[in-house]
Structure 1
Amino acid sequence: MNKQIAVYCRVSSKTQDTASQKPDLERWINAFAPNAPVKWYEDQFSGRTMDRPGWSRLMQDIDAGRIDRIVVWRLDRLGRTARGLTALFDELPRRGIGLVSVKDGLDFDTAAGRLMANVLASVAQYETEIRAERVRAGQQKARKRGKTWGGSEPGRLLFLSSDQVETILHLHDQGKPKAAIARACGVSRPTVYRILCQNDAP
């Protein structure tokens, strides 16, 4: 069987897309695997679970012996729980499947790459937990003040999910402009400013 390279892209919500990840992934393919068969898998789903439609299809192809290597834009695109990632890192070598994270400069074919992957998995878990704590603290503070958040139109309240709040904070941490964050999350700029203020984000 002619095995394929699996390219996996993920964003956290349906209001985002994977367009920003694809140029780097395509450059990697052109540089390191120009003649290899490639199959793309995509998810618009939270990284806090490994149970995602695109990832499930990829795992089915792995089980069928069709995949030789997985390529991702960044390691946290695979997931953001240390348990799920470390289980995956144990499983892939046993199946003879390589893993490349383009932005992290990580290749599972080396011992250093495997070590760094586990370190980054722990960091991703830590960042997720810290962000969740910030969200809860900000919401609690807002409730004590008797405030509600959201509202893209006067007189209309928009209640955001914890995933949306987490995405706003994550994009802000990455230095994205407020207008870009608003477009990505499907909310107004005042909503973005309000969420950042409630979560003490500078």
Structure 2
Amino acid sequence: MMTRHIAIYCRVSSKGQDTASQKPDLHRWVDAFAPDDEVTWYEDQFSGRTMDRPAWSRLRSNVDAGKINQVVVWRLDRLGRTARGLTALLDELPRRGVGLISIKDGLDLQTPAGRLMANVLASVAQYETEIRGERVRAGQEIARRDGKTWGGSKPGRLLQLTNDQVETIRDLDARGKTKSAIARACGVSRPTVYRILKSSQSASQEQGI
């Protein structure tokens, strides 16, 4: 009989961040509720705007293979920040007999109250993402009305962009999306997209990648 394990999932949005703030609570949960169980840790440094992330993809493959009986996260938005992706996941896990625990949200997907709360939190995560995008676009519009331009900044300086936006721009470019489509999706100008990608290429060349 196949041994199923508990999956502990951590995520931060960029390589400049780490998961240290999430791990103490997750370790305490394991010590309290699963001290003798098989536990596997999955960690991503990737934008929450896409569900296509290396560690998450491995976790999902193990869910599909029936190797996981429970997923534990520090907070629900660590799974992702799109309502569509989260809602689909929250529907799928119970059907596969997989539980979901969100420590900071006090959420257990195996209870009716937990399922209701999970869907509400998924919608809130999507709302927060959209609000941040609107604030960025509003700030840029105010700057344009004041006569400011985006082309005169110092090389490598990314004005008014969140880590999620930068990571999403890089991810969409890697998927072959046009610069115009990337700009529309991220609420920035095409010159900003080109500047971010050029900065990334320069950094890779300096590192010998």
TM-score interval w.r.t. the shorter chain? 0.7 to 0.9
Q: Match for residue 63 of structure 2?
A: 62
Question: 1:12 matched to which residue of 2?
Answer: 13
Question: 2:14 touches 2:164 (CA, 8 Å); kept in 1?
Answer: no
Question: Structure 1 residues 57, 160: CA separation in 2 closer, same or farther (over 3 Å shift)?
Answer: farther
- After superposition, the CA RMSD in angstroms is 2.2
Q: TM-score, normalised by structure 1?
A: 0.75
Judged with a 3 Å threshold, the aligned counterparts in structure 2 of structure 1 residues 3 and 161 are, in CA distance, closer, same or farther, namely farther
1:159 is aligned to 158
Per-residue deviation, 1:138: 0.8
Distance 2:157 2:108 in 1: 43
Instruction: Please list every run of at least 4 consecutive aligned residues from structure 1 whose deviation after the TM superposition is greater than 3 angstroms.
Output: 146-149, 160-163
> What secondary structure, in the 3-state scheme, does the structure 2 residue paired with 1:158 have?
coil
The residue aligned with 2:74 is 73
On the 8 A contact 2:75/2:104 being kept in 1, the answer is yes
**Within the alignment, does 1:147 sit opposite 2:148 as a pair?**
yes
Q: Could you report, residue by residue, the CA deviation over 1:35-62 in whole angstroms, capped at 9, with x for unpaired residues?
A: 1111011111111111111110101111
Count of residue pairs brought into register by the alignment: 164
3-state DSSP of counterpart to 1:17: coil
Shift of 1:147: 3.2
One-letter amino acid of the counterpart of residue 40, structure 2: K
Runs of at least 5 residues in structure 1 that lack an aligned partner in the other structure: 168-202
Identity of aligned residues (%): 73
Written as runs of structure 1 = structure 2, the 5 A alignment for 1:2-41 is 2-41=3-42
Which runs of no fewer than 5 residues in structure 2 stay unpaired? 167-209
Structure 2: how far apart are the matches of 1:19 and 1:86?
A: 27
* TM-score (ref. length: structure 2): 0.73
